[in-house]
Amino acid sequence: MALPKVELHVHLEGSVRPSTFLKLARKNGLDVRCRTERDVVALFRFRDFAHFAQLYDYCTSLFRDPEDFELAVTELGSYAAQQGVRYLEVTFTAGTHFRSRGIPFDEQIDALATGAAKARRDTGIEIRFIVDHVRGLSIEDCYQTAQWCADGRDQGVVALGLGGIEAGRPASQYDKAIRWAAERGVPFVPHAGEAAGPESIWDALQYSPPRLGHGFRAIEDVELMEHLKANDVLLEICPTSNVRTGTVPSLEEHPVRRLWDFGIPLNLNSDDPSMFNTDVLNEYRIAISTFGFTPAELARMGFMGIRAALVDEPERARLTDLFTGELRRLGITVDPRSGEPSSGVPGPSPEPPSARRG
């Protein structure tokens, strides 16, 4: 599908392609009990969310030196660009690599920035980074991650994330660290409303996130849906991921269409593409075949993604102009502000949610 795309929810560690998985395992002398790419795919047949989290930790063990980070992000950027992604925000778990294998954060981010620059040079794709904290770790660890976010802003770090097993571990457990980061201009973009219900989303919203990872369980609370709609909080929707981890029974039961029809801003993402045997292009195809989205609606999602992207206004305007031009060549003229058919003239870039909330 030739539509230009924005992807805001993809994990570096879960994007390593099977061939690279084997390459890194052999390079670093790891016994992964996989001889072929097919073996790697079979390895990630998840039983439940806890099993997924366990295997995700397994993937992080592949990264042993800075060159591994550079390779992974360069490959991810190149592959995403082939699918029409023009802007990509990549989440990585710096603390795991630091604590488990002693790789300093500055070496991690230097390598990632080098890989992003290579991808930009070769494909034109723009890549930014979210450093996430893992639920269940200490508040001190979260402060460390927040500090890394603040330190890494000149190399493309745009936010503090929050991942890991969600149930019983609300964002507010890390209240002071999240607020410390916000005082230094670092936005908070947590996973919420995936394996836990609306209460997890309400808890995260006290920190005024510009968007939420997953968030589809907002469908269980009409008042919450009204809040998300009124405050223009975008949900990073990952249908295949939600089915693979068992948080949604089947694609047909995923609430993405109902959330969209309610008026909540959304965009489509691959989450952990290699682990889930998907990619963003596949998610767009599913949106059409399973949920009945039209190309114009998907184009509107692209503009929503631009509005929620953590970029400065010149970059937002550039992306808006780029998308408008590409869509016009495809015969799709969608106003980037309203999503309605238009002449294709973008006008002023829409103000991002994070700017409206100060």
Active-site residue set = 194
CA–CA dist 144, 309 (Å, integer): 24
CA–CA dist 300, 2 (Å, integer): 14
Give, in order, the Cα–Cα distances in Å from 114 to each of 29, 84, 97.
25, 22, 18
CA–CA dist 141, 103 (Å, integer): 15
The DSSP call for residue 61 is T
The DSSP call for residue 82 is H
Give, in order, the Cα–Cα distances in Å from 103 to each of 94, 111, 222, 301.
9, 11, 45, 37
Q: What angle do CA 292, 297, 298 make, to 5 degrees?
A: 90
Burial of 31 (0-12, 13-18, 19+ CB in 10 A): exposed
Q: Which residue, chain included where needed, has tokens 């102009």? A: 321
Q: What is the largest CA-CA distance in the chain?
A: 57
Rg of the Cα atoms in the chain: 19
Both tokens assigned to 313: 């206004």
Least Cα distance to 193 among 160, 260, 238, 229 occurs for: 238
Both tokens assigned to 7: 């992807």
Q: How many CB atoms lie within 10 A of CB 40?
A: 21
Least Cα distance to 178 among 198, 214, 203, 153 occurs for: 203
Q: What angle do CA 125, 355, 262 make, to 5 degrees?
A: 85
CA–CA dist 33, 31 (Å, integer): 6
Residue type, 304: M
Q: Which residue, chain included where needed, has tokens 């097919």? A: 38
CA–CA dist 15, 6 (Å, integer): 16
